[in-house]
């Protein structure tokens, strides 16, 4: 701190007795602090000082310098106590000598050595009591003098080094020089300033101190100071602007602290009052007329600014700043979570060096959100133009609300206008209805009548677009079988306005029967599809036989018989047919009699070899072929029966592609075996020689009407027989009513009389062959020994009984069923009937079968009857058990699952009849659950009576579950009902998840409410369902008397949402009732609410409040309010009268008593005696009542505004600016009258003059200039002020001249040295968007160029784009705003910074910092892909260079096709295909590269087949 001058020579030490001068007394810290507090601000600045504790640098070893190694003084304290702790010189004059004293006291119990050394400063000298070190006695002090001689009035500093036996410490020496003093006023008030608006006051501040002021000024929000830091020379002045920007109404106060570079702080007081100004919207809700989708409609809106400020407005999304900050913080957390989740999805954590911007996001996001206005109103449906701007004082601004719907539905949105001057944002409810495309079908029903199966028919319908927008349509096919037979051309396409599209319909029938199909035309943008109903009947080809029955009659066993018929096609379509006879055998063809006659093998006729299957006895020629249209075909049917029975069959026709057994022709036949007899049963050969063949003829007679086939059976055991016989023609056919002779050859092998029996068999007969009997009859003659041998020959016939029917089946019968009776007719061809023989025969044969139990049979012995007599038999048996089982599903439990509302599930149940009897029954569902009793919820198909054959016949029953609302888990039985019996067959289990939203009450009664008052009640919505849903109240139906909050939202499962219903009647009425107020629930029926109340008159005035004050002054009175209820109240008083004001809201806690509400009376005009100012205030209470007060005010004459006193030097002109306020809402012209009070007559040597009038705009303030000039001393009322404004637009230095002209004094010339430095950067502009997206922000600069100019724009980062140049119109006197649009398109994650430079030859340069934050891309989708189809996803390479991308899909059902390398800033299309399946599939596509990753959610739809 030494100056350039040579100081007065001095030594470092000097004896005190050799110097005599002024002495500066050492300061006592306690006394000095008390004296400091008693000083004024100016005195404190003139004599500042600072206490410093002497610092200790090191400790020494006492053993090396003293025998006393131990001390009684603590080690943390010093052996010598300095007083004072620092040496201070103040209020000194340059080149004068000053002396200060320092005392060092020995605190130890033994004498101690002391040495004091001064630093190297030439301005200080130490005068010590001794030239060498010396010991100081116990408790004694050693006094030193410090000599100070300054060269300048500035600060000096040095230190004394104190060395003792134990330590070394320092005592500072400080000389405090001159100080700077800025003459700020002690208090600065801002009265009645608009809220959320910047009010500025400019102060002329001078440095009245003796030193250049290097200062910094700090204050608290909502106050700010500009400039807040700077330098001001001695005696110089500057303008300091204090700005008051209150965020809310109320009273504010804050200290303003002026920090000097010398360490002193000076405190000033700032205070202000913030009020709301008169700015409003012309409407609080706006309904835009209906608009078609993709088109727009608009409506105007006006903002009225009836204040004296230029209000800035901007449309916002949220109701206040706090809600906006919460949303910003929520978005910030979501984006941070995404930043952390992206690396985890790929299984790696990126190193910190590769992502340097990621940690910054955590700390900088919140600041970026708060500083950057990233939450303006942004909506694709509603657009407000302009979104922000300024409104001049006492003017209005008209803006347009543009409504552009995307769907055909009602849109409702609430936006908020953030206007400076208003504490709360002004709400605006926007409502509009989107109208879908007006598309119609030329017909909605198409009847095609009867068509033949397999035929193709074509039809046409017209799709008409009656609207003004083009739209896309597509045909939706039903999932039933008949729907696949239709083909629509075209299936989809675009429909232009007022045009039509011809839809071709092709129908190729493949399923028979009546049908009704509904085809839907999905029209994009229309909430409901168009439906085309197609009905008709598909019939098979018409064909018939020319006979009604094929009657073969009786046919002989083994003899073929052929019948012919003709099949005729009466339709116009050909078809392929197959003919067959169900019930015919599937084995080898039947054997004919002709084959038996020619058979040389000689198989046994009674035991002929048969296969495992029955023989095929019918032959059809042709059995297959093609029938031409309207043609015919002759068919031959041949029956060769190998079974003795009656035939009741049918010839059926199967048509390929149509069905089976479409036509049947009855076939009737009976197979019998003709009865053959031997004409002469005994064939005598007489006497025969041994081994000589003899031949005789056997006559066989056929008395029947049918031919027969016979065979003389060969001799059995011929080698052992005594007689050999054979026939050279053993086989043959005998025609009806004819006979045939069969030759027999006999050869006797043994002598003697021989008999033998030959057998003849009939083809097909199961009876014993025909026998020839031969025997001898011995006759004995009485009284004689002679016996005569008589040969007896005969033919025996077996008795044969025939029954019709041969087998009578009764039953089986189920319990409780009626019995059955049957008749049997017995026939006997025998002439001789023996009871004994009949009993023996009947014991061997089963004549009648009847049911005894489930599987046993019972035989019934018939009594003898004459031939042809009818025998009536009543057969009775026990009933069988009913055995009906459920084959599938096992366990007899049908599990329907847990569905969502709107879903449908179908289950198949297989039922088997294991009873021995056929069964007819119905199925019925029994349930006590009301939801299941609704039509179509739980159905069984078929619903009609079911019939099952016995022993294993099955049928399938379809159980359909289509719930319409939420159903708790249920178990219900399906009953089987048949005559006389009801039993449980199987059990159905299931449940339905869905939303079950209800109100705790559907009727609210508010009672009587005072007019202009209101009352509230609560209603609670509960969601007892399984999923959350959205809700929205129909607000139009509540108006104008009711309101509900919230109006829409989301309710989660198990959640309660309370609603506050407010009844604020708009007019007097004895009964106000609103019925059927709807709350729309997503996916469910709307909830209904009924509200009722009445409106009564306002009660009489409670009391009158009287106000009296001077005009343009205030008087306030309080009204005591109480809240007797248990809930807090927020009241909004209704204040009438333009001169009274009060808080817009007042809050009363529950049970709070006598809270004061302040009403302020501020008249702007004087009142007269006969006409006082009138007003009223009404407090609407939430209980429906109200308090009414009458207000009466008297405004007296105004008082003097104040006195201004200034001291002005002679011969210097002085101008005083007197603020003049216009308190009215219209412009005013004030007449100025100057009255000189002292002296009464103003001499010519003094001038006090100003304009004779001044114009002041409405609610504004103007300065009136009053000029004063005097050539001699005197007392006048004036103020001197000379303002010179310098506003450079470009940097650099320049010079100028200021010339003041005076007729008396001449001209005064001043040379001006002007220097313009670079302007400060503008406020930073913040951006926040995702990688791959763009964000455009509009910022402003203040253009001061008085001529039209062009600004060139340039940024130093490629992520930010702007126009190359913008044009600026000539600016007004105070400058004009110039908007600049900047687009941020990041190419990397993290933060990006840039600087936007705007330069103009006339307007100068501007620098705008740009800060952008790039977040990871947000997931997109889901993209719906039909089974077997594809979808396209647009993708763009956002990086500035060619980049390789990888495409990954986790689920194998999806396939991706896209280029791997993309050029910089180029776009492509990603094609994703889905193979399909029975269930929907969800996956995601990840497009990754080193710079980031993009996620697209995919959803594959199930196959419709």
Q: Read out DSSP for 1221-1267?
A: E--SSS-EEEEP-----SSSS--TTEEEEE-SEEEE-TT-EEEEEEE
Mean pLDDT of 979-1005: 85
DSSP symbol at 933: G
**Per-residue model confidence (pLDDT) at position 820:** 58
DSSP symbol at 142: E
pLDDT over threshold 60, residue 826:
no
pLDDT over threshold 50, residue 345:
no
What is the CB neighbour count within 10 angstroms for residue 453? 22
Sign of CA dihedral 14, 19, 21, 25: positive
**Per-residue model confidence (pLDDT) at position 780:** 42
* Strands of the 1140-1141 sheet, one edge to the other: 1115-1121, 1155-1161, 1140-1141
Q: What is the pLDDT of residues 1252-1303, one digit of tens each?
A: 778 788 778 888 887 877 755 666 544 333 344 556 766 777 676 565 554 4
- How does residue 1466 score in pLDDT terms, banded at 50, 70 and 90? confident
Q: Are 739 and 702 in contact (CB under 8 A)?
A: yes
Instruction: Give the span between the Cα atoms of 1399 and 1404, in whole angstroms.
Output: 6
pLDDT over threshold 70, residue 978:
yes
Nearest Cα neighbor of 528 from 443, 403, 404, 438 is: 438
pLDDT over threshold 50, residue 1209:
yes
**Per-residue model confidence (pLDDT) at position 275:** 92
DSSP symbol at 208: -
**Per-residue model confidence (pLDDT) at position 941:** 87
Phi (first) and psi of residue 594, to 5 degrees? -65, -35
Instruction: Give the span between the Cα atoms of 555 and 617, in whole angstroms.
Output: 12
Burial of 908 (0-12, 13-18, 19+ CB in 10 A): exposed
In sequence order, what are the beta bridge partners of 531?
520
In sequence order, what are the beta bridge partners of 295?
none
The model's pTM is: 0.37
Write a three-state SS string for 552-566.
Answer: EEEEECCCCEEEEEE
The number of angstroms, rounded, from the C-alpha of 711 to the middle of its chain's C-alpha atoms is 94
Of residues 1222 and 1330, which shows the higher confidence score? Answer: 1330
Q: What is the pLDDT of residues 62-94, one digit of tens each?
A: 666 666 777 888 878 888 889 888 899 888 888
Q: ∠ CA 192-193-198 to the nearest 5 degrees?
A: 170
**Per-residue model confidence (pLDDT) at position 341:** 61
- Name the token pair of 618: 């019918």
Q: What is the pLDDT of residues 560-600, one digit of tens each?
A: 999 999 999 888 778 888 999 998 888 888 888 888 787 65
Q: Read out DSSP for 853-899?
A: SSS-EE--PPPP--TT-EEEE----PPPPP-EEEEESGGGEEEEEEE
Instruction: Give the span between the Cα atoms of 61 and 63, in whole angstroms.
Output: 5
**Torsion from C-alpha of 1123, 1125, 1127, 1129, nearest 10 degrees:** -30
Of residues 878 and 1462, which shows the higher confidence score? Answer: 1462
Instruction: Give the span between the Cα atoms of 954 and 973, in whole angstroms.
Output: 20
Burial of 272 (0-12, 13-18, 19+ CB in 10 A): buried
Nearest Cα neighbor of 133 from 118, 117, 115, 112 is: 115
In sequence order, what are the beta bridge partners of 450?
537
Q: What is the pLDDT of residues 632-687, one digit of tens each?
A: 889 999 999 888 888 989 999 988 877 788 888 999 999 988 888 888 878 888 78
Q: Which range is most confident: 327-331, 1083-1087, 1133-1137, 1295-1299?
A: 1133-1137
Contacts of 1162 (CB under 8 A, 6+ apart): 1112, 1113, 1114, 1139, 1140, 1141
Q: Read out DSSP for 1321-1386?
A: P---EEEEEETT--EEEEEEEEE--SS-EEEEEEES-TTEE--SEEEEPPP-TT-EEEEEEEEE--
**Per-residue model confidence (pLDDT) at position 26:** 40
- How does residue 348 score in pLDDT terms, banded at 50, 70 and 90? very low
**Per-residue model confidence (pLDDT) at position 766:** 62
Helix (H) or strand (E) holding 229: strand 229-232
Mean pLDDT of 829-854: 39
Instruction: Assign 1111 to helix, strand or coil.
Output: coil
Q: Are 1061 and 1044 in contact (CB under 8 A)?
A: yes
Q: Are 999 and 1088 in contact (CB under 8 A)?
A: no
Nearest Cα neighbor of 675 from 629, 641, 710, 650 is: 710
**Per-residue model confidence (pLDDT) at position 339:** 67
- How does residue 272 score in pLDDT terms, banded at 50, 70 and 90? very high
Instruction: Give the span between the Cα atoms of 927 and 969, in whole angstroms.
Output: 12
Burial of 525 (0-12, 13-18, 19+ CB in 10 A): buried
- How does residue 537 score in pLDDT terms, banded at 50, 70 and 90? confident
DSSP symbol at 51: -
- Name the token pair of 177: 């020089």
The percent of residues in the chain predicted with pLDDT above 90, rounded, is 15
The percent of residues in the chain predicted with pLDDT above 70, rounded, is 80
**Per-residue model confidence (pLDDT) at position 346:** 47
Of residues 190 and 756, which shows the higher confidence score? Answer: 190
Mean pLDDT of 126-134: 76
Instruction: Give the span between the Cα atoms of 207 and 232, in whole angstroms.
Output: 7
- How does residue 49 score in pLDDT terms, banded at 50, 70 and 90? very low
Instruction: Assign 630 to helix, strand or coil.
Output: coil
**Per-residue model confidence (pLDDT) at position 364:** 42
Nearest Cα neighbor of 256 from 307, 290, 221 is: 221
Q: Read out DSSP for 966-1005?
A: -EEEEEEEEEEEETTEEEEEEEEEEEEE---EEES-SEEE
How does strand 265-275 pair with strand 187-194?
parallel
Mean pLDDT of 601-623: 67
Mean pLDDT of 266-290: 90
DSSP symbol at 1401: T
In sequence order, what are the beta bridge partners of 742?
698
Contacts of 1169 (CB under 8 A, 6+ apart): none
Instruction: Give the span between the Cα atoms of 959 and 982, in whole angstroms.
Output: 20
Helix (H) or strand (E) holding 336: helix 321-345
Q: Are 1384 and 1329 in contact (CB under 8 A)?
A: yes
- How does residue 822 score in pLDDT terms, banded at 50, 70 and 90? low
What is the CB neighbour count within 10 angstroms for residue 949? 12
pLDDT over threshold 50, residue 203:
yes
Q: Work out the mean pLDDT of the chain and round it to a whole number.
A: 79
Q: What is the pLDDT of residues 895-932, one digit of tens each?
A: 888 888 878 999 999 999 888 788 888 888 888 788 88
How does strand 1420-1425 pair with strand 1492-1500?
parallel
Counting Cα atoms < 13 Å in the Cβ hemisphere of 537 gives 6
Q: What is the pLDDT of residues 1310-1364, one digit of tens each?
A: 666 777 777 788 889 999 888 888 899 999 888 888 888 999 999 998 889 999 9
**Per-residue model confidence (pLDDT) at position 666:** 92
**Per-residue model confidence (pLDDT) at position 669:** 92
Q: Are 1362 and 1445 in contact (CB under 8 A)?
A: no
Of residues 1187 and 610, which shows the higher confidence score? Answer: 1187
Phi (first) and psi of residue 414, to 5 degrees? -110, 125
Mean pLDDT of 1481-1505: 85
- Name the token pair of 512: 């028979």
Q: What is the pLDDT of residues 1381-1437, one digit of tens each?
A: 999 988 888 889 999 999 988 888 899 999 998 888 888 888 888 888 899 998 888
């Amino acid at each position: 701190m030494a100056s350039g001058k040579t100081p007065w020579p001095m030594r470092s030490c000097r004896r005190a007795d050799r110097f005599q001068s002024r002495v500066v007394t050492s300061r006592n810290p306690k006394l000095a602090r008390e004296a400091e507090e008693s000083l004024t601000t100016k005195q404190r600045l003139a004599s500042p000082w600072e206490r410093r504790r002497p610092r200790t640098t090191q400790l020494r070893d006492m053993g090396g310098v003293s025998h006393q190694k131990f001390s009684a003084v603590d080690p943390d304290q010093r052996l010598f106590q300095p007083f004072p702790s620092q040496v201070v010189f103040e209020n000194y004059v340059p080149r004068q000598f000053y002396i200060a004293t320092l005392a060092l006291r020995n605190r130890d119990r033994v004498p101690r050595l002391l040495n004091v050394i001064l630093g190297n400063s030439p301005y200080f000298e130490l005068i010590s009591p001794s030239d060498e070190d010396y010991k100081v006695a116990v408790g004694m002090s050693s006094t030193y003098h410090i000599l100070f001689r300054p060269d300048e009035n500035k600060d000096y500093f040095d230190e004394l080094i104190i060395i003792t036996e134990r330590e070394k410490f320092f005592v500072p020496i400080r000389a405090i020089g001159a100080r700077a003093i800025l003459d700020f006023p002690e208090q600065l008030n801002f009265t009645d300033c608009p809220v959320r608006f910047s009010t500025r006051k400019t102060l002329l501040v001078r440095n009245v101190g003796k030193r250049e002021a290097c200062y910094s000024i700090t204050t608290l929000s909502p106050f700010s100071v500009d400039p807040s830091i700077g330098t001001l020379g001695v005696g110089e002045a500057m303008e300091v602007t204090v700005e008051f920007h209150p965020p809310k109404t109320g009273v504010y106060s804050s200290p303003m602290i002026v920090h000097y570079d010398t360490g002193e702080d000076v405190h000033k007081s700032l205070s202000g009052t913030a009020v709301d100004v008169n700015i409003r919207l012309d409407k609080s809700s706006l309904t835009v007329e209906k608009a078609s989708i993709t088109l727009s409609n608009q409506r105007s809106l006006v903002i009225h600014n009836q204040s004296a400020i230029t209000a800035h407005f901007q449309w916002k999304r949220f109701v206040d700043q706090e809600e906006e900050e919460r949303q910003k913080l929520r978005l910030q957390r979501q984006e941070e979570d995404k930043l952390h989740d992206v690396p985890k999805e790929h299984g790696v954590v990126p190193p910190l060096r590769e992502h340097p911007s990621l940690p910054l996001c955590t700390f900088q996001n919140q600041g970026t959100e708060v500083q950057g206005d990233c939450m303006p109103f942004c909506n694709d449906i509603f657009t407000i133009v302009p979104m922000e701007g300024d409104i001049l004082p006492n003017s209005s601004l008209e803006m347009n609300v543009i409504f552009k719907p995307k769907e055909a539905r009602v849109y409702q949105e609430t936006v908020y206008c953030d206007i400076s001057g208003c504490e709360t944002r002004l709400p605006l409810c926007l409502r509009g209805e989107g109208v879908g495309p007006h598309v119609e079908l030329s017909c909605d029903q198409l009847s095609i009548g009867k068509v033949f199966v397999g035929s193709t028919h074509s039809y046409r319908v017209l799709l008409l677009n009656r609207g003004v927008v083009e739209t896309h349509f597509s045909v939706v096919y039903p999932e039933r079988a008949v729907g696949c037979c239709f083909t629509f051309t075209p299936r989809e396409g675009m429909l232009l306005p007022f045009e039509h599209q011809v839809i071709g319909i092709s129908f190729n029938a493949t399923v028979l029967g009546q049908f009704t199909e509904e085809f839907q035309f999905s029209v994009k943008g229309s909430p409901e599809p168009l439906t085309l109903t197609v009905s008709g009947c598909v019939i098979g080809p018409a064909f018939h036989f020319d006979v009604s029955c094929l009657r073969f009659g009786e046919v002989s066993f083994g003899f073929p018989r052929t019948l012919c018929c003709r099949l005729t096609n009466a339709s116009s379509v050909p078809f392929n047919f197959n003919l067959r006879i169900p019930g015919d055998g599937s084995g080898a063809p039947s054997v004919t009699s002709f084959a038996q006659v020619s058979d040389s093998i000689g198989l046994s006729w009674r035991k002929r070899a048969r296969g495992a299957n029955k023989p095929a006895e019918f032959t059809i020629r042709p059995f297959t072929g093609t029938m031409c249209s309207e043609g015919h075909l002759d068919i031959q049917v041949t029956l060769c029966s190998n079974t003795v029975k009656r035939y009741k069959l049918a010839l059926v026709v199967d048509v390929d592609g149509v069905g089976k057994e479409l036509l049947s022709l009855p076939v009737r036949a009976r197979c019998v075996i003709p009865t053959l007899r031997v004409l002469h049963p005994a064939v005598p050969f007489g006497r025969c020689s041994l081994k000589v063949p003899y031949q005789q003829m056997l006559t066989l007679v056929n008395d029947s009407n049918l031919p027969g086939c016979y065979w003389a059976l060969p001799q059995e055991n011929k080698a052992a027989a005594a007689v050999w016989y054979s026939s050279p023609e053993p086989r043959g056919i005998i025609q009806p009513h004819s006979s045939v002779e069969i030759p027999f050859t006999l050869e006797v092998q043994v002598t003697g009389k021989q008999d033998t029996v030959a057998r003849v068999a009939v083809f097909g007969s199961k009876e014993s062959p025909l026998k020839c009997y031969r025997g001898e009859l011995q006759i004995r003659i009485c009284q004689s020994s002679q016996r005569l041998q008589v040969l007896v020959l005969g033919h025996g016939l077996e008795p044969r009984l025939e029954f019709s029917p041969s087998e009578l089946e009764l039953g089986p019968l189920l319990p409780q069923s009626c019995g059955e009776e049957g008749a049997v007719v017995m026939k006997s061809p025998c002439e001789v009937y023996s009871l004994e023989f009949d009993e023996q025969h009947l014991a061997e044969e089963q004549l009648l079968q009847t049911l005894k139990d489930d599987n046993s049979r019972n035989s019934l012995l018939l009594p003898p009857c004459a031939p042809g007599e009818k025998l009536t038999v009543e057969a009775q048996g026990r009933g069988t058990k009913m055995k009906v089982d459920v084959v599938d599903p096992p366990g007899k439990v049908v599990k329907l699952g847990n569905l969502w509302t709107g879903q449908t599930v179908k289950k198949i149940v297989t039922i088997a009849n294991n009873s021995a009897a056929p069964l007819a029954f119905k199925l019925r569902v029994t349930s006590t659950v009301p939801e299941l009793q609704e039509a179509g919820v739980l159905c069984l198909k078929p619903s009609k009576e079911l019939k099952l054959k016995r022993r294993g016949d099955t049928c399938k029953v379809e159980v359909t579950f289509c719930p319409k609302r939420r159903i708790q888990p249920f178990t219900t039985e399906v009953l089987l009902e048949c005559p006389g019996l009801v039993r449980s067959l199987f059990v159905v289990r299931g449940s339905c998840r869905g939303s079950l939203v209800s109100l705790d009450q559907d009727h609210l009664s508010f009672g009587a409410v005072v007019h202009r008052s209101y009352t509230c009640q609560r209603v609670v919505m509960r969601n007892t369902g399984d999923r959350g849903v959205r809700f929205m109240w129909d607000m139009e139906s509540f108006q104008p008397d009711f309101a509900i909050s919230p109006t829409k939202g989301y309710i989660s499962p198990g959640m309660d949402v309370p609603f506050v219903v407010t009844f604020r009647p708009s007019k007097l009425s004895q009964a106000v009732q609103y019925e059927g107020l709807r709350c729309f629930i997503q996916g469910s029926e709307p909830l209904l609410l009924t509200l009722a109340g009445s409106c009564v008159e306002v009660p009489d005035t409670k009391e009158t409040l009287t106000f009296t004050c001077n005009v343009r002054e205030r008087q306030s009175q309080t009204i005591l309010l109480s809240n007797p209820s248990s809930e807090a109240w927020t009241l909004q008083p209704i204040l009438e009268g333009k001169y009274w004001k009060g808080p817009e809201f007042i809050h009363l806690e529950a049970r709070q008593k006598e809270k004061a509400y302040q009403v302020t009376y501020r008249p702007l005009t004087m009142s007269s005696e006969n006409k006082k100012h009138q007003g009223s205030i009404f407090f609407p209470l939430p209980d429906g009542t109200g308090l009414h007060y009458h207000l009466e005010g008297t405004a007296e004459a105004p008082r003097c505004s104040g006195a201004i006193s200034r001291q002005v030097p002679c011969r210097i002109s002085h101008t005083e600016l007197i603020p003049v306020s216009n308190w009215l809402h219209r412009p005013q012209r004030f007449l100025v009258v100057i009255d000189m009070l002292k002296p009464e007559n103003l001499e010519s040597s003094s001038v006090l003059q100003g304009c004779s009038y001044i114009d002041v705009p409405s609610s504004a303030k103007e300065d009136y200039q009053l000029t004063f000039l005097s050539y001699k001393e005197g007392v006048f009322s004036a103020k001197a002020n000379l303002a010179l404004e310098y506003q450079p637009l470009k940097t650099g230095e320049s010079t100028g001249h200021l010339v003041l002209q005076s007729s008396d004094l001449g001209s005064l010339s001043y040379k001006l040295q002007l220097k313009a430095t670079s302007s400060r950067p503008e406020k930073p502009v913040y951006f926040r968007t995702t990688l791959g997206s763009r964000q455009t922000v509009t910022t402003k600069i203040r253009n001061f160029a008085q001529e039209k100019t062009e600004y060139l724009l340039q940024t130093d980062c490629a992520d930010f784009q702007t126009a190359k140049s913008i044009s600026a119109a000539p600016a007004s006197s105070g400058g004009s705003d110039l908007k600049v649009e900047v687009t941020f398109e990041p190419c990397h994650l993290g933060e990006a910074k840039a600087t936007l430079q705007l330069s103009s030859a006339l307007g100068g340069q501007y620098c705008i910092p740009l800060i952008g934050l790039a977040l990871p891309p947000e997931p997109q989708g889901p993209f719906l892909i039909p089974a077997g189809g594809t979808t396209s996803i647009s993708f763009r390479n956002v990086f500035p260079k060619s980049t390789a991308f990888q495409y990954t899909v986790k689920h194998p059902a999806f396939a991706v096709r896209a280029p791997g390398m993309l050029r910089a800033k180029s776009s492509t299309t990603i094609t994703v295909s889905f193979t399909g399946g029975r269930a929907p599939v969800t996956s995601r596509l990840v497009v990754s590269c080193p710079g980031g990753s993009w996620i697209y959610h995919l959803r594959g739809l199930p196959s419709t087949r």
